[in-house]
Structure 1
């Protein structure tokens, strides 16, 4: 049995470790202090025992490149990408992960609609830059007072082919099992899975859903698909669009714009400009 190396917190110069947030197979994730910026940050550091692997090293540097060059209100902001040792420096986010929020209780329809519109917005931004996220799940969404931020670009890739099986069990799309035919529809699957999970606290294909990776179609699922509790009570248009998002056939999934069109009428309306002015005037 191979023993795991104890994290050492050997962060690059200028970054002081405060607490270990996660210790994965490839990365150590640290809550750290950025001496140059005078603020807390998150440092994703490539483990010392993986730095000889060029594929893993390149993946970390790619994540850093994307985080520091792409900018969107609902995408985690990157401060720096470092090469020696390979590390990504990210903003510290307030709030909680969507998975932590849903663990307490499912979200209401209006909140989920708002969440879906925000995630569709940032996914559309990535897609327009020819990138796919490929790991959308409640653990990778941080929510703070209604603002959703998509995190973790470690599996991001181009449309087309990818590493077979790359993704998270229970959330990866069937085409991710084979690593063929990756497209914006693959992220639509992740969006649908995430929103259904937020509404019903269950996944349509089971929490441990896996797909056979042998090159044949249709893919065979270990469990029969099931309808999550609570989804039947949703408005018909919303139920239909979320069910379509997790269709086994990528070509049958809706476009992000269609998802937004179905969800936007259910979002809590923003206060009108005149209402905001009246409220400010009343405080004077």
Structure 2
């Protein structure tokens, strides 16, 4: 079967999923678009089984060019997606934000995404990004190897909390722990900024229950489903079944994320992994569309 036919068949599978729920499409809050040379380096890290992959073989399923990747999400029926990008050292965030602003202008179904890093001018460029229309930020504690509670970030967190701009934050210790991963540093941030709209990526894998604690304590904390419950992740970091009822109880604050294109399986597998939890169609509708549509003020939200 040709690649074209495989893509058409897979797009049909994805569309049947959300059509069966009576949804107008999907909203995916955790997809990666970034400058091509940066993305190629990310893919090279996965290919080489770099330290941040946990040494696990991680083939990239959707290694298409930028325009083809965006077109594929549209073929899947993803109404809105993000450009999750992140610096690994000082001096990167501002130019990444400039690239992301341009990407958002030429890609209207992408939620204008920005990022940040603990450095002296962080509050300035975060304010500039918000003023320019950024709708979501990405923070990557594992890759950036920084403490999210660093004092240099405090003003930026306060600005984002006041503006109500969500921040998707990779702060769990999967697939490989970092010096500042885990619930402790994020808890310190939330103690200072309880209205900050943090979206904990990967459900906080593998510290799922600790991050459920934070979501239950802080009403603006949300969780995204990125890679959670898939066969790939369940082998490494299984979600504790005793916590499923708690996840169901937070149904209005769980958002679909996939990590597209950097996933080692088909996109539809993430959707089926959520479906087989048995938390019900109302929960799935909220997770796959309605919760994010409401958070970002999308039509139908």
Superposition TM-score tier, normalisation by shorter sequence: under 0.3
Larger radius of gyration: 1
- Say which structure, 1 or 2, has more relative contact order (CA 8 Å, 6+ apart): 2
TM-score using structure 1 length? 0.28
